Amino acid sequence: MQTETTEVKLIQFKENGDERGRLVVVEGGQDIPFEIKRVFYIYGSDPDVIRGKHANRRSEFVLINVAGTSKVRITDRSGNQMTVNLNRPHSGIYLPAMIWKEMYDFSLDSVLLVLCSEHYDPNEYIRDFDEFMKVCKNAKA
Ligand code: TYD
């Protein structure tokens, strides 16, 4: 999926495994395309809950289901939609700024780890889909 700035992409992380178990490393600026300023994780969401429903003007994200599974439905600046299954602790999805995202279908054991390029600023969130589309359209004009 192509966006105007950069691309949504799946990222496979190296799994370091031995008889003791597995270990995955995510280094900011190396394994993912930004330095990590913020980390949060989402768990305890019922399967029928839809989270997210917003776009961010500046923040870039990497989403990793470190336990369990969920799905993310994204809409880019041109209105293209894509659904990604988050179901492996060693893979994630990179989302540039200005992507509409909805996370849903959480398994009971889901722990969704989110890495961000920016500190939290509620003012950079667009929480209305029509407004998101309007901002995208105006940016193109
Ligand atoms: P919200 O953005 O609604 O979560 P989601 O994107 O998963 O639907 O955030 C839930 C609450 O947590 C809301 O009160 C704002 C707060 N919050 C922070 O204080 N800092 C953060 O970095 C995030 C992501 C949320």
Query: Does residue 56 sit within a domain?
Result: yes
- Which one of 36, 39, 40 would you pick to mutate in the ligand 1 pocket, going by the greatest count of ligand atoms within 8 A of its CB? 40
CATH number of the domain that 36 lies in?
Answer: 2.60.120.10
| Count: domains in the chain | 1
- pLDDT (tens, 9 = 90+) of the chain, 141 residues, equals 544 446 899 999 999 999 999 999 999 999 999 999 999 999 999 999 999 999 999 999 999 999 999 999 999 999 999 999 999 999 999 999 999 999 999 999 999 999 999 999 999 999 999 999 999 999 887
Rounded Cα distance, 3 and 73, in Å? 15
Query: Does residue 31 sit within a domain?
Result: yes
Rounded Cα distance, 11 and 9, in Å? 6
The percent of the chain in helix, strand and coil, each rounded to the nearest 5, is 10, 45, 45
Q: What's the pTM?
A: 0.94
Asked if 25 and 31 touch (Cβ cutoff 8 Å), the reply is yes
Check residue 33 and give left, alpha or beta (phi > 0: left; psi -120 to 50: alpha). alpha
The alpha carbon of 7 and the centre of ligand 1 are apart by a number of angstroms equal to 24
Query: Does residue 91 sit within a domain?
Result: yes
Query: Does residue 1 sit within a domain?
Result: no
Closest to 117 in 3D by CA, of 136, 95, 132: 95
Query: Does residue 4 sit within a domain?
Result: no
Question: Which range marks the domain in which residue 56 is found?
Answer: 9-140
The residue nearest atom 3 of ligand 1, judged by CA position, is 52
